[in-house]
Amino acid sequence: MKTLLQITLLFFVLSLASGQTNAPLWGNGSHEKMCGLGTYQDSLDLALKKATEGSGDTLLTVEVLPSFHQEYGLVIKRVGSEVTLVRATFQTQLWHQLAPLAAPRTRQECLDLASAAKVDTVMVPIRPETASSLLSAFGNIRLIETDRCPRTGKECALVNDGIAYVVLPQDGERFRITDTEGLKGVRSENTALLDWIHSLLQIANNPQP
């Protein structure tokens, strides 16, 4: 029950802020002394990077943040001449471990917890050409057109819960978008990017080696 209240509070705060401003809500948390939303995002990046570093170069990471389940990442890597896909899933929801809106932790304490978080990694059994095709399709998306919030008309939409995605290209800025599928009248921050993420998830969840 406590976890549910914390998560509900998170989305209430995000929704309220989204309706009042166009400023990004999730960015670099280096300015935070205590563990806030920015530090949570940095902690997520840190834990997934640590879990998936090793063989090959990381080309692209898509972080999946469900409301009530463990976060996970889908990482496209280049190993030699082949492109592969790795899934990294937190054993325990990182949001629950850090509790950035409830527990009085410092930024460094949250980063330390994230560094020690247990993450299960597995190679997704897909064909290298499928992974390459995904990467090529991503390269055709106009990321510069990504909005700062999902919208109803010209106003930021109030999305109380659901799934968020954070996209981290190898070189470039982070993009955060909301899954607006099934939300009538709500326009995604970047429709093309959301469609691509849905394709990635379909392939990752139903691999055909």
Res. 26: pLDDT tops 80: no
Average pLDDT value for residue range 152-181: 90
> Is residue 61 within 8 Å of residue 168, measured between CB atoms?
yes
H or E segment at 111? Answer: helix 107-115
Domain that holds residue 119: 2-205
Name the band, by pLDDT with cuts 50, 70 and 90, for residue 209: low
- Name the more confident of 172 and 2: 172
pTM metric for this prediction: 0.85
Question: Number of folded domains in the chain?
Answer: 1
Res. 130: pLDDT tops 80: yes
> Is residue 164 within 8 Å of residue 176, measured between CB atoms?
yes
Residue 27 pLDDT: 65
Which residues does 43 contact at the CB level (< 8 Å), separation at least 6? 35, 94, 98, 110, 111, 113, 114
> Is residue 52 within 8 Å of residue 197, measured between CB atoms?
no
DSSP state at residue 122: E
Residue 16 pLDDT: 35
pLDDT 10s digits, 30-57: 889 999 999 999 999 999 999 999 888 9
pLDDT 10s digits, 139-162: 999 999 999 999 999 999 887 778
pLDDT 10s digits, 57-110: 999 999 999 988 999 999 999 999 999 999 999 999 999 999 988 889 999 999
Nearest to 71 by CA among 44, 97, 51, 106: 44
